[in-house]
Amino acid sequence: MGILNCKRDKVLRVKLQDEKQANIIKDLAKTSQLDFWYPDATHHVAANMTVDFQISAKESQFVQSALDQNQMHYEILIHDVQEEVEKQFDVKEDNPGRHSYAKYNNWNKIVAWTEKMVHKHPKMVSRIKIGTTVEDNPLYVLKIAGKDKRRKAIFMDCGIHAREWISPAFCQWFVYQATKTYGKNKIMTKLLDRMNFYVLPVFNVDGYIWSWTQNRMWRKNRSRNQNSKCIGTDLNRNFNVSWNSFPNTNDPCQEIYRGPAPESEKETKAVSDFIRSHLKSIKAYITFHSYSQMLLFPYGYTSELPPNHKNLAKVAKIATDVLSTPYETHYTYGPIASTIYPTSGSSLDWAYNLGIKHTFAFELRDKGRFGFLLPESQIKPTCKETMLALKFIVKYILKHTS
């Protein structure tokens, strides 16, 4: 896996004490290639924030001495990114012919897996092609349903940002557990008999493929931009909600480029169309990202709170409590804007404003020790704890939506 040579690249974590230090980071970002891991772009950087960024071996000396000169506290989270990229794959294949839920799977394996699931559980699982990507890869949604046909539904997506590999791993795990325990586990059986689940295991297929083959740290999709050599749009800034509100998302070379227009990207359009056409039944929208261990709800584009925010906060509080039980993994929760930072054009806000009143975004493990390079040995525990939180949310929605 010699993807993207990031030999001796480092990931630094800087704790910003004040506005002056925040400005120093912003200035460094103008002169050096800082790939922000958290927050996801320079303009979110603010006083009292903890900032994680990747820096090449070549530039790290300059950046580190600038931080030292300004008496800024930093730690080196990752000393050699390339080494961590290789160390992610720390789970051995027990059975090469079988789909492994404890490993990261590339796109070809995920496609084969969707076919296998339909074949294995024909009464329960169907595969819907909701559109294609810029590079003409299929966008597949798996519909999972128990007995009764007319009922409420939940839409879930994973992998809107290519490098967040733990996210598609969770969507696969969810489908596997749902189909495996249906008829055996009381709660799962009840949920599936009364709810349809629409699961999009990989939202940003082209980006995901690119992150496997070319550049492990790729985030956006792979669309070409007019009058720019820079590739890709951030699909989670491309939804038609307050799309225009942050002028700093209009540079195609930025990781958070919003695209030329709302729903300009085939992936965003396909998902938006699908959700709009199933709006009567969809009672919840849940999206999975990494990293930082948070459970978020609207809004991102404004600090105003949604009408049912007390409700959403209560659900999030209990869900994060439940999530911490097996491994004591600590999550924070709250509205996007105040819990992380303001964002525009996100799928979460869009779904909420469309009328889906229960919308949540999970930021999965970890807190930055490995960041996007979470080792495979953490996939199972991450999925197990997340599943507990998800089951709680779904039970709550069953009970409290008409």
Residues 6 or more apart whose Cβ sits within 8 Å of residue 166: 290, 291, 364, 365, 374, 378, 379, 382
- Residue 155's nearest CA partner among 278, 270, 266, 237 is 278
Name the burial class of residue 48, with classes exposed (0-12), middle (13-18) and buried (19+) by CB atoms within 10 angstroms of its CB.
Answer: exposed
Q: Which one-letter DSSP state was computed for residue 294?
A: E
- Which among 267, 363, 376, 385 is annotated as catalytic? 363
Q: How far apart are CA 126 and CA 141, in angstroms?
A: 8
Which residue type sits at 284? A
Q: Where are the beta strands (DSSP E) in 63-194?
A: 73-78, 125-132, 138-144, 152-158
> Which alpha helices (H) appear in 328-402, and where do they start and end?
336-339, 347-354, 379-400
- Residue 317's nearest CA partner among 294, 340, 337 is 294
Going from the C-alpha of 240 to that of each of 36, 260, 301, the distances in angstroms are: 25, 12, 12
Instruction: Say whether 363 is catalytic.
Output: yes
Give the residue numbers marked as catalytic: 363
